[in-house]
Amino acid sequence: MERLMTYPDEASAAGFQQDIAAVPSSLLGVRLELDRLLAGRSVAPARVDDIRLAVTEACANAVVHAYPGGEAGTVRVTADITREGLVVAVRDYGSGFAARRPTTGLGMVLMRTLAESVSIDDADPGAAVQMTFQLEQMSATHTSPTHVLDLARQGRRAPSLGYSRRC
């Protein structure tokens, strides 16, 4: 049986909002905020790793693709625990998805595989990715990161993936 991470002294956190500079070194701060948010909750360590990986990928995509040519920028990360689970939004204020290549990289495959739902929106300016994660024990059918490449080779995606454009 898998041991659950619990830290009773920090169980009251319900969410966070963090604006980070669009540079790779900022990603560690987001991971630390996620750790603080999930502390005190009965979340399996493997699930915490899934969440960290998916959120880091979303942030890394914003850092790498939103601000071409090393342009300075900001990425806003918000996370809230709701009845549905953990909802994380990553928003940049850069070029938006319309100006980028199609979102078919490994980072998007990881996000779609590890989250229960993923939505991608063009914003004005920029782009926003929202992911929802189930926090309780996952069933035996939950896909672990070790199966991500197999899913990608088969062309499988999370059924709840959505894409929309906002004016």
Segment holding 39, helix H or strand E? none
What local confidence, expressed as pLDDT, does residue 147 receive? 53
* Residue 151: pLDDT band with limits 50, 70, 90: low
Q: Does position 108 have pLDDT exceeding 90, yes or no?
A: no
Please choose, from the candidates 28, 35, 55, 43, the residue with its C-alpha nearest in 3D space to the C-alpha of residue 114.
55
Domain count, the chain: 1
In a domain, 1, yes or no: no
* Residue 105: pLDDT band with limits 50, 70, 90: confident
Q: Span 64-84, mean pLDDT?
A: 89
The CATH number linked to 133 is: 3.30.565.10
The DSSP code sequence of 56-78 is: HHHHHHHHHHSSGGG---EEEEE
Please choose, from the candidates 91, 83, 82, the residue with its C-alpha nearest in 3D space to the C-alpha of residue 130.
91
The token duo for 32 is: 């630390």
- Residue predicted with more confidence, 135 or 155: 135
In a domain, 114, yes or no: yes
Q: What angle do CA 85, 62, 34 make, to 5 degrees?
A: 35
In a domain, 2, yes or no: no
Please list the alpha-helical segments (H only) found in 86-146: 106-114
In a domain, 61, yes or no: yes
Q: Span 147-161, mean pLDDT?
A: 51
Q: Does position 28 have pLDDT exceeding 50, yes or no?
A: yes
* β-bridge pairing 117-122 and 127-133: antiparallel
Q: Does position 167 have pLDDT exceeding 80, yes or no?
A: no
